[in-house]
Amino acid sequence: MSGDVRIATGNAGKVALLGGYLTAAGFQPRMADPGDAEDRAETGYRPAVLAKLAGVPEAGPPVVAHDSGFEFACLGGEPGPRTKAWLASTDDVRRELVPGTGVRVVHCVGLRFGSQTLTFLDHDDRIVPEQFLPEDSDLPLTNCFVGPRDSLARLMGRVAARLAERTTADFE
């Protein structure tokens, strides 16, 4: 089964990231900007994903949305679902994090097709490295932590499997 799948984001990098998984599964991803829907959502991974899905018109191909966050052991599990705001308000992340401590990288993915909405949650447990965030690094922050990096792939595999179960009518 193949077909168009909308990704609820205005972020081209996120379209490339999620779109890579969808393209590999035979789907044609395209951006569908949900506007500021996430900013109006209750705090939480699932509420953010559901808001993004709701920010895209129901008519049309299936929609996928993603949210993620960092839960640092040295910060008592914070910032969690408030990671985006925390990163925007923190001048130097390195001062707040303790090398060698744990960080849970949480991913939540939502899928809406027709009137059905599903959400999936998974995480990777990683470590804040001793040489955290080199000055010249332009990598996403998530790439700077040591440990497994397969939770998003697992989630997108589940999404692709659910999409593959759909009929051609779901993609029109």
Question: Is the predicted pLDDT of residue 10 greater than 90, yes or no?
Answer: yes
Question: Is the predicted pLDDT of residue 120 greater than 50, yes or no?
Answer: yes
**C-beta of residue 105 within 8 angstroms of C-beta of residue 68:** yes
Q: In 3-state terms, what secondary structure has residue 6? A: strand
pLDDT for the residue 136 = 47
Confidence of residue 133 (pLDDT cuts 50, 70, 90): low
Domain count, the chain: 1
Q: In 3-state terms, what secondary structure has residue 75? A: helix
Number of H helices, E strands in the chain: 5, 6
**Of 6-10, 25-29, 51-55, 83-87, which gets the smallest average pLDDT?**
83-87
Confidence of residue 134 (pLDDT cuts 50, 70, 90): very low
Query: How far is the C-alpha of 16 from the C-alpha of 14, rounded, in Å?
Result: 5
Confidence of residue 140 (pLDDT cuts 50, 70, 90): low
Question: Is the predicted pLDDT of residue 139 greater than 70, yes or no?
Answer: no
Q: Considering the entire predicted model, what is its pTM? A: 0.88
For helices 12-24 and 151-164, angle between their N-to-C axes, nearest 10 degrees: 60
Average pLDDT over residues 53-79: 94
Average pLDDT over residues 69-98: 85
Closest CA to 70 of 9, 154, 126: 126
Q: What is the DSSP letter of 87?
A: H
Answer with the residue of higher pLDDT: 59 or 143.
59
**C-beta of residue 99 within 8 angstroms of C-beta of residue 129:** yes
Closest CA to 22 of 171, 157, 151, 169: 157
What percent of the chain is predicted at pLDDT more than 70? 87
Closest CA to 166 of 103, 114, 91: 114
Average pLDDT over residues 112-131: 92
Enter the tokens of residue 114: 């027709």
Domain of 56: which CATH number? 3.90.950.10
Query: How far is the C-alpha of 138 from the C-alpha of 7, rounded, in Å?
Result: 24
Provide the residue range defining the domain that includes 137. Answer: 4-171
